[in-house]
Chains A and B, each alone.
Chain A
Amino acid sequence: MVARVQIPQQAKRGEVIEVRIAIQHPMETGFRFDLLGRAIPKNVINNLSVRYNGAEVFRAELGSGIAANPYVQFCTVAEASGEFVFEWMDDAGQRGAERASITISG
Chain B
Amino acid sequence: MLACSANAAEPQKPAPLKSGVEFTSEDVRKLQADDFANPGMLWVARGAKLWGEPAGSSGKSCAACHGDAAKSMRGVATRYPRVDPGAAKLVNLEGRINLCRERNQQAEPLKLESDELLALTAYVAYPSRGLPVAVAVDPQNRKNFERGRDLYFRRSGQMNMACTHCHDRNWGRQLLGDTISQGHGNGYPTYRLEWQTTGSLQRRIRACFFGLRAEMPPYGAQDLLDLELYLGWRASGLPIETPGVRR
Contact = CB atoms under 8 A, between A and B. Distances in A.
A26 B115 CA distance: 12
A80 to B, nearest CB: 24
B170 interface: no
Interface string B41-58: 111011001000000000
Contacts of A68: 196-197
Contact of B42 (A6, A20, A67, A69): A69
Grouping DSSP codes into helix (H, G, I), strand (E, B) and loop, the B interface class, with mixed when no group exceeds half, is helix
A71 B197 CA distance: 13
A35 to B, nearest CB: 14
Interface in A58-80: 67-69, 71
B36 A4 contact: yes
B210 to A, nearest CB: 14
B42 A24 contact: yes
Contacts of B207: none
B37 A2 contact: no
B41 A69 contact: no
B189 interface: no
Contacts of B45: 2, 4
A12 to B, nearest CB: 22
Size class of the contact patch on chain A? 10 to 19
B244 interface: no
Interface of B: 36-37, 39, 41-43, 45-46, 49, 196-197
Given A20-B37, A22-B39, A22-B41, 16 more contacts: A2-B45, A2-B49, A3-B42, A4-B36, A4-B45, A6-B36, A20-B36, A22-B36, A22-B42, A24-B42, A24-B43, A26-B197, A68-B196, A68-B197, A69-B42, A69-B197
4 interchain residue pairs of minimum CB distance: A68-B196, A24-B42, A2-B46, A69-B39
Interface of A: 2-4, 6, 20, 22-24, 26-27, 67-69, 71
17 contacts: A2-B42, A2-B43, A2-B45, A2-B46, A3-B42, A4-B36, A4-B42, A4-B45, A22-B39, A24-B46, A26-B196, A26-B197, A68-B196, A68-B197, A69-B42, A69-B197, A71-B39
